[in-house]
Amino acid sequence: MRERLEALRKEALAGIAAARDVRALQELRVRYLGKKGALTEILRGMGSLPPEERPRVGELANEVRRALEAALAERQAALERAALEARLSAERLDVTLPGRPIPIGARHPLLQVIEEIEDIFIGLGFEVAEGPEVESDYYNFEALNLPKGHPARDMQDSFYITEEILLRTHTSPVQIRTMEAKGGAVPVKIICPGKVYRRDDDDATHSHQFMQVEGLVVDRGIRMSDLKGVLLAFAREMFGADVAIRLRPSYFPFTEPSAEVDITCVMCGGRGCRVCKETGWLEILGAGMVHPDVLRAGGYDPEQVSGFAFGMGVERIAMLKYGIDDIRHFYTNDVRFLEQF
């Protein structure tokens, strides 16, 4: 019996030492120490021993039990420690690693130019006004001295939604609305930036949808020289202190007199180059003195007040400022283009 107990101890200790995980250990515990385990089995045979041997065999059996229990506990602790180590090293996290950079977008170049234009005019005392892109025929045309039948109102040239409603073709309707809202009060000194729509075929210099900034000043005694001074100040801030401007006679239905405004060529400084077609000048905007009919539509008496107005295409300004050769770059959203601003 002693030999059987010793053999059991040896075999069980070897098994415990070799156990690869906690489950294997549990199986061993059941196999040797369980109710139907090997140790119990041996103890059951104690009855056949002579009575004087029983205490010593019983003591040995207890010793084996304690030894196995101790070995099981120790092995279990070792396996758990190893499992924890493995998990810790597998899930190692270096909290000092720099984070992955998140790609950050940039402000669209057109928006940047619009804000630059706004800042310049705000510095000159103007306020920024905005309004709807879907307009009535009245605000977009009628109030601007463009009566029904006028060639500029051709159905072919505008995006009509109904006979009376269309996508605005300029931001002038915002200026009419602003004048109306003033109820005849002066001064009016606003710029109106925003998206406008014209039914054009897109090419390098035309887009059916583009950005415009218009300006309007109405007050007592406003003269053409005020227009010239404001536009010169704008041109110098936008394109450089040594830039000059030139006004050429032109025609717009909503201004009289009207002018096209040039700046000295930003590419050649006025000497003449391909960009300015050897003229030394670049056209940047249209302007004029507000037509009396338009002042009346805005609720003003042209006998009492006068005004000037101007309008520019933001894309054209941005293209000249940054040397961009195709208006479509602004709308195709190629990040290699957009990232440069």
Binding site listing for Mg(2+): 256
306 scored as a contact of ligand 2NL (CB under 6 A): no
Nearest to 213, CA basis, from 298, 130, 306, 135: 130
Q: Does 172 bind ligand 2NL (CB under 6 A)?
A: yes
- Which CB sits closer to ligand 2NL, 178 or 264? 178
- By CB under 6 A, tell whether 255 contacts ligand 2NL: yes
Tokens read off for 336: 């290699």
Decide if residue 290 touches ligand 2NL (CB under 6 A): yes
Comparison of 37 and 311: residue with beta carbon closer to ligand 2NL: 311
Return d(Cα 131, Cα 325) in angstroms, integer. Answer: 30
Q: Among residues 13, 309, 317, 319, which is the contact residue for ligand 2NL, using CB under 6 A?
A: 309
Q: 135-170 burial string, b = 16+ CB within 10 Å, else e?
A: bbbebbbbbbbbeeeeeebeeeebeeeeeeebbbbb
Tell me how far, at minimum, the Cβ of 127 lies from ligand 2NL, in Å: 15
Determine the interface stretch with ligand 2NL among 38-46, 66-74, 133-141, 309-317 (rule: CB under 6 A): 309-317
Under the criterion CB under 6 A, does residue 216 sit at the interface with ligand 2NL? yes
| Residue from the set 175, 207, 264, 306 that interacts with ligand 2NL by CB under 6 A | 175
Strand order across the beta sheet in which 127-128 lies:
127-128, 188-197, 209-219, 306-313, 281-290, 255-264, 245-252
Shortest-Cβ-distance residue relative to ligand 2NL: 311
CA distances 53 to 9, 48, 169, 170, 299, Å, are 19, 10, 116, 116, 126
- Least distance to ligand 2NL from the beta carbon of 307, Å? 7
Could you tell me if residue 132 is left (phi over 0), alpha (psi between -120 and 50 degrees) or otherwise beta? beta
Nearest alpha-carbon partner for 179 in 254, 260, 285, 258: 254
Find the binder of ligand 2NL among 8, 16, 28, 176 (CB under 6 A).
176
How far is residue 85's CA from residue 69's CA, in Å, rounded to a whole number?
A: 24
**Residue 287 makes contact with ligand 2NL by CB under 6 A:** yes
Does 121 participate in binding ligand 2NL (rule CB under 6 A)? no
Residue 194 makes contact with ligand 2NL by CB under 6 A: no
Rg of the chain, C-alpha, whole Å: 45
Q: Which residues bind ligand 2NL (CB under 6 A)?
A: 172, 175-176, 212, 214, 216, 252, 254-255, 285-288, 290, 294, 309-313
